[in-house]
Chains A and B, each alone.
Chain A
Amino acid sequence: MTRIAYLIICIIFFACESDPIKSKLHNGIEFEQYTFEIDNFTESYQVDFQNIAKGESNLLFSGYIFDILLDGTTIKDTSRALISIDLSKFSDYDICSSVVRIDPPKVSLYSSLKLSEIFSSNQDDLNIKLVSVENYDEDQAFWTESGIHSIDISNVIDENLNYSVMDSSENELIIDLPNSFISQDSTALICDENNNISLVIEYFPNESSDFQYIDWYSSDFNYGNSLTPKINLDYTKMESVDTTEYQFNIDNYLDSHSKYYYINNILDNNWSTTFFMNVVGLNSGTIDSIMDFSSLVIEDPLINMSNLSTKVDLAVLRIELNDNPLAQDSISQILLALEDVIAYVNEDDPSADDYDGLDSTLTDGNTQYDILYNSIGSIIASEKFNDFGSDNCENQFEKGNGECCENDEECVYNNEGSENNSLLNWLDNDGDGLWSNGDTGEEWIDFGSDGCTDEYETGDLDNPCSDSPDNSLLGTDPNGDNYNIDPNEDNYNSETDLGFENNGELDWTDDNNNEIWEEGEGEQWLDYGLDGIPDTYDIYENDKEFQQDFEPFFDYGLDNIEDQSEPGFCNSLISCTENNFQYDVGELNDINDLGIDGCTDEYEIGTKEDPNCQLPEDGPNPDYVPETDPHGDNYNIDPNSDNYNSVTDSGFENNDELDWTDGNNNGIWDEEEGEQWFDYGLDQTENEYEQYLPENQIIVSLSNNEYQIDINDFSEYSELGIPNTADNKVALWISSITSNAIEDVYDLTLSIYSERQLDGIKLKLDHPDDFSNLKVSWAENYERNYSGQYSYVEDGEYQDKIFKDLSLYPLRGLDFYSETLPDSLVLMNYGYDVFCHLNSDKFNSFVNEHSGGSISLQYSKIIIPIEMLSHDSDIKVDIDIPSQYLSSSNYITESPYGYVEYGDDRMEIDIGSLIQYYMINDDIPFEGFILRNNSKSYNFNSLYLNKHNSYIQLVIQK
């Protein structure tokens, strides 16, 4: 009873709905959209020259910097790059104390320009001086009131330093520094604080030069360190190096009982593997890899009747110790073992499958083709056969007339030919995407994958093309494959300025003068007023007057039908292949599959190496020999047409079945009886090679197989007794080890005992334990060379810059521009620190009074029309941010910015995250935006913004 009560309670409680409640909430989250016009609140500003610092610019400039004023006046000044290197930053490194050798350092500078092009004509334009300057800070303001820089660079130590452009990088300049920065004996870099390097990079090109200035990536370039200036240090110092080598090497085999073949490449995993066998035509010596037994022939057995069951010394293996003295010092004992030892039996029928006339399971030589089936009728083994078809030759050796070829001239197999390969072989020389005269190769027609144009189309996709045209079908597209993105042909064309659809304007004619759109009057518009929402009764709503700026209209042309709804529209390049300006499968007629040479065999002239075609009007090549292919381009992968086709289940080559007809009923294959088979038995191997089958290989007994060489106290080893041969009756061992003190080598005698005749034996000399015995390791001091580029030194997790750098040029005041700058424009210029202050009291108050809630990141932005950029280069505009802004969120890594490309008509900067920051932090007052050009592009590019129609858009929580 209690359980039932609990169950009822559970059912009641868990019957509750858990789906979200769909309802409007009282004072639920709603957003508002605001637009703040800022026409009158954007101004250009420039602080006093004495307070301007530009040392953190991403770029440095050498040469003539110029800017173009609005009235066309060009201003031109000279800029020099000052680059200083603090060598004392290296003081904690070996390089400053003692190394084996150090070269005079070099400095690498990187430019966005190809320096090899600049210096190809005249290298004298660039002058690099070594100067002595007072210590300075990068962020120091060093301009005087008149705009002249105050850093004294007149104390020149060395003029015209050598430089070169890096061979591997056309953007890298290498500057050679004098020897004064290294010690006299070239064993240390002088890292004193007083020995800092300051370079002035001057560039004075001719006026006619295309490159009036060179920009250099500065040490403050903040896209990683790859392009910042580097000091190049090349030095050698002593270093302890761990070395590992093998204990010994194989010297040679001596006194061999038979031929032998061994691998002596120490890097090969099969190193020391040796075969003792007498192979016809192959002399003893080293081999590159494990032997291939498939075709080799043994001339004499290794163990025959004459030496059966006797000890046979196969050879003496001579090894020598590692010749490295340090390695030798570490060797005291060498442990050896024979491994991977296999013997190959010399018998007439190693697989014991020769037919004896009685036993039907013996299949070798039983004069019938044998197949072994399992209990469910599947083939599990069969005798070897050539699955080449009735011609009994592979495609590569087919002649084309059902016969087999015997030389290259007769063989017509060609898997690389382009004629009749059912693939388009075409070079679009004019790049128009269609076949046209002048193109190379096979002609195709853009009639779609169905293979026919409208007048031939049937509408039946199973039989899509008719043989005769029906001109009444033109344009009707019965097969529905025409690619057409403007069926009514009313799209706007900007080149001809014709067409109405998507022309950005309302094309409406109020024919009945009722001031509202009606069917047939062209493009429809909606009289929804300023907010774009119906039934809000806002300004302009239902005023019977179209407001181009904000009321929605359908720019569909006079038909008032958008392209997608126009009958016949199809923009799918996959399903609509006719007239889609690309080749699709099916658009190459068989008669046009002529190959890349563009002509059939009878028109081919010249050779394969120098192909040409007879002109159609000249007729076929009179010298053409029928059935030949002068250009060798006929695609043919089955000349005798006998390949198996799984679709039609026809053909014989590669059908996995023996196609043999015993024409003379003699039970064996004869010429002209189809596919040849081999009466080798189910092991598919001739008796001669059955010994190499894994199941027939003999595992050799190795006795205790532990051999030891004591280097320091060597005593000869000898084992003349016959080891236990185990079941396989074959044993192999090292019967003696002797030392040749004169040649400092050790001789190992390899002996074999076998009660079976053997054709050969494989063995490997190895060590019982690789890790403790095979190799030796030791530490040794080496002179090691270092060559590196450094722009900073590691200081814990902090990267401490070695370089400091800045550009030296005269400042231009904002008043210099003001004469040509109308009130409607705002100027921004990084080099002269002219920035834009956007300061609307209304907007500032709005932000400061708004607290909490969310703001749209996508719809909150500053939008300012662009009047012009003075230089044809793109720039980035950043907004100044509060000091804690970047650290206040893990998701923000940089300040709000906008990209301006040359030719853009307006600049947009997303400010949602920044405004959100101020809304979250009520205690930080918002005092407007400061917009500055970024220094990653030409620093003297002037951006002119138009105040008119500039505004801030915000979408913010109510």
Chain B
Amino acid sequence: MISKLSIVFLLLLSVSLAQFSTNSVNGFGNNSHIISPSSESMGGMWMYNSNINNWDPLLASSIYKTNLTMIAVSSSFEGVHTNHYKVNSHLINSVNFSFPINKKMGFSIGLSPYSRTGYHIEDSQYNMIGGTEYASPLGSKSSYNIQGGISKLSIALSRASFNEKIALGFKWNILFGNQEINTTTSLAEISYDQMGNQIFTLNEILYNYEFNHFNGYSYDFDSRINTKNSSFSFLISLLDDFEINRNEVSQLFSSNNNYLFDKLQIDELALGYMYNKNNNFGIALEGHFKNNIKYSEEVMILGNSTPSQISIHNGLYKIINNARTDSWNSINLSTGYSYKLIKFNEEDLNDISFSLGMGISFNEKKNNINISFTIGSRESIVETIDRENYYKFNMAILSGDKWFEKRKRD
């Protein structure tokens, strides 16, 4: 049983930085699809995982598959290394509570980030501002402090039909949160020494501050069709009624603006296939599409719109059961890889990752601990950065019990 203390502890740690990538200083920050370690270890899948029965608290259509009331917490520790910088970060991925309604229906409520920031970035060098016939050249150097993000409160309902040949899941997500963007720019006059070296003389500092308050909704629908040894999955996520209240201070002036985007749009789309040799081994393939959010650029970080992403994910798992009941019940092992294409307006960037994972189930399979480790490398939108090499260590603790069991009368 997970102690309350550990949950509080992990929640406190959630105030820390989000994973930084030069590719995610756009939109509303890093809005990677949150998945559990058992999915991460199979190449970052959204719909398949290495758990027994493919149960996953974050996948709506799978919630009915357990007869236990479950509490799940997952966290990750991540690092990015480039030829310019090295950043480590840690964050809470999700907190989830689910329970069965009957054998074919389940319900869950959870909290997870939709997009995150937590960046303090400084320009590594001055940007040149060309002179004119009347004016000398200048240099500008900015620092950015971007904090906050959008959280997602999810309420999900799962139902199986046709003897569990078909499973459906629906998730209603309430998006909310705040974000602060502080930028400070130093303007310096450029002069030269006789060796031609540039000398910067600081002359002015400019301030800009933005505070965004977010409200919105999204809807996830996922389904799975099971055959004897195979299953096919489909997931779609839609954004709706997204509202931003913004207070902006530019130098000496401030302004307040309200933005409402009430047009329904596709946020995520996924298709998947899994082959199960038996209950203990499977291999899966998924294709993902993450849409770029088609909101006005002026509401996004530094006016940068999000890129869209297309990716394929391939992974397999193996479950080893223990016949002894007084010890661990089963161990699952999994591995996978993914290939993403991040499509900015200017260029497409690739992102390749490889992942390994392991999970252990104990206490009559009521409790699980899953871990995954992913390493990857991706191209950066910043020309001067060769590649961003990253790693992720994910851990989830799942604990369940029967809370609402009917007792038979004698």
Q: Which residues of A contact B (CB under 8 A)?
A: 2, 6, 9, 12-13, 15-18, 20-35, 524, 526, 530-534, 536, 538, 549-550, 552, 554, 560, 851-859, 863, 888-889, 891-892, 912-913, 916-917, 919-921, 951, 953, 955, 957
B194 near A554: Cβ-Cβ < 8 Å: yes
Contacts of B190 in A (CB 8 A): 532-533
* Best-surrounded residue of A15, A28, A955 (most CB of chain B within 10 A): A28
Contacts of B183 in A (CB 8 A): 29
A22 near B122: Cβ-Cβ < 8 Å: yes
Contacts of A9 in B (CB 8 A): 9
How does the 8 Å CB contact mask read for B221-252 relative to A, with 1 for contact and 0 for none? 00000000000000000000000000010111
Contacts of B16 in A (CB 8 A): 13, 16
Extra contacts, 6 of them, besides A18-B120, A530-B133 (Cβ < 8 A), are A24-B123, A526-B192, A526-B196, A530-B131, A530-B132, A859-B203
Contacts of B250 in A (CB 8 A): 852-855, 916, 919-920
**A854-B250, A955-B187 given; A25·B132 CB < 8 A:** no
Instruction: Say if the beta carbon of B87 comes within 8 Å of chain A.
Output: yes
- The complex places the Cα of A26 from the Cα of B380 at a distance, in Å, of 9
Contacts of B20 in A (CB 8 A): 21
Q: Out of B84, B128, B203, B298, which one reaches A851, CB within 8 Å?
A: B298
A23 near B121: Cβ-Cβ < 8 Å: yes
How does the 8 Å CB contact mask read for B284-328 relative to A, with 1 for contact and 0 for none? 000000000000001000111000000000000000000000000
Q: How many A-B residue pairs have CB under 8 A?
A: 208
Q: Out of B128, B194, B196, B206, which one reaches A856, CB within 8 Å?
A: B206
B130 near A855: Cβ-Cβ < 8 Å: no
**Least distance between A49 CB and chain B CB atoms (Å):** 37
**Least distance between A19 CB and chain B CB atoms (Å):** 8
Contacts of A856 in B (CB 8 A): 187, 204, 206
**Least distance between A860 CB and chain B CB atoms (Å):** 10
- The complex places the Cα of A30 from the Cα of B206 at a distance, in Å, of 12
- Which residue on chain A has the smallest CB distance to residue B187? A856
- The complex places the Cα of A192 from the Cα of B364 at a distance, in Å, of 101
B77 near A524: Cβ-Cβ < 8 Å: no
**A6-B9, A857-B204, A916-B252 given; A35·B134 CB < 8 A:** yes
- The complex places the Cα of A482 from the Cα of B127 at a distance, in Å, of 43
B132 near A23: Cβ-Cβ < 8 Å: no
A920 near B253: Cβ-Cβ < 8 Å: yes
A28 near B252: Cβ-Cβ < 8 Å: no
B124 near A23: Cβ-Cβ < 8 Å: yes
- Which residue on chain A has the smallest CB distance to residue B119? A21
A21 near B134: Cβ-Cβ < 8 Å: no
Contacts of A33 in B (CB 8 A): 129-132, 135, 137-138
**Least distance between B192 CB and chain A CB atoms (Å):** 5
A28 near B133: Cβ-Cβ < 8 Å: no
6 closest A-B pairs by beta carbon, nearest first, are: A531-B130, A532-B131, A532-B137, A35-B132, A16-B88, A26-B381
Q: Out of B122, B129, B140, B142, which one reaches A21, CB within 8 Å?
A: B122
**Least distance between B119 CB and chain A CB atoms (Å):** 7
**A20-B143, A550-B133 given; A31·B122 CB < 8 A:** no
Q: List 8 A-B contacts (CB under 8 A).
A: A21-B87, A21-B122, A25-B25, A25-B302, A30-B129, A524-B194, A851-B298, A955-B129
Instruction: Say if the beta carbon of B102 comes within 8 Å of chain A.
Output: no
Q: Which residues between 78 and 98 of chain B lie within 8 Å of chain A, taking CB atoms?
A: 82, 84-90
- Which residue on chain A has the smallest CB distance to residue B305? A27
**Size class of the B contact interface (CB-based, 8 Å):** 35 or more
- The complex places the Cα of A852 from the Cα of B90 at a distance, in Å, of 34
- Which residue on chain A has the smallest CB distance to residue B383? A24
**Least distance between A97 CB and chain B CB atoms (Å):** 49
B121 near A889: Cβ-Cβ < 8 Å: no
**Least distance between B146 CB and chain A CB atoms (Å):** 10
Contacts of B122 in A (CB 8 A): 20-23
- Which residue on chain B has the smallest CB distance to residue A953? B135
**Least distance between A525 CB and chain B CB atoms (Å):** 10
- The complex places the Cα of A552 from the Cα of B136 at a distance, in Å, of 9
**A27-B304, A33-B129, A526-B192 given; A16·B204 CB < 8 A:** no
A858 near B142: Cβ-Cβ < 8 Å: no
Instruction: Say if the beta carbon of B125 comes within 8 Å of chain A.
Output: yes
- The complex places the Cα of A128 from the Cα of B90 at a distance, in Å, of 84
How does the 8 Å CB contact mask read for B188-202 relative to A, with 1 for contact and 0 for none? 001110101000000
B304 near A30: Cβ-Cβ < 8 Å: no
**Least distance between A640 CB and chain B CB atoms (Å):** 63
**Least distance between B37 CB and chain A CB atoms (Å):** 15
B138 near A859: Cβ-Cβ < 8 Å: yes
B140 near A29: Cβ-Cβ < 8 Å: yes
A29 near B302: Cβ-Cβ < 8 Å: yes
- Which residue on chain B has the smallest CB distance to residue A952? B134
**A33-B138, A916-B251, A955-B187 given; A25·B204 CB < 8 A:** no
**Least distance between A958 CB and chain B CB atoms (Å):** 9
Instruction: Say if the beta carbon of B385 comes within 8 Å of chain A.
Output: yes
**A23-B85, A28-B123, A554-B194 given; A533·B251 CB < 8 A:** no
Contacts of B265 in A (CB 8 A): none
Instruction: Say if the beta carbon of B275 comes within 8 Å of chain A.
Output: no
**Least distance between A183 CB and chain B CB atoms (Å):** 54
Contacts of A919 in B (CB 8 A): 250
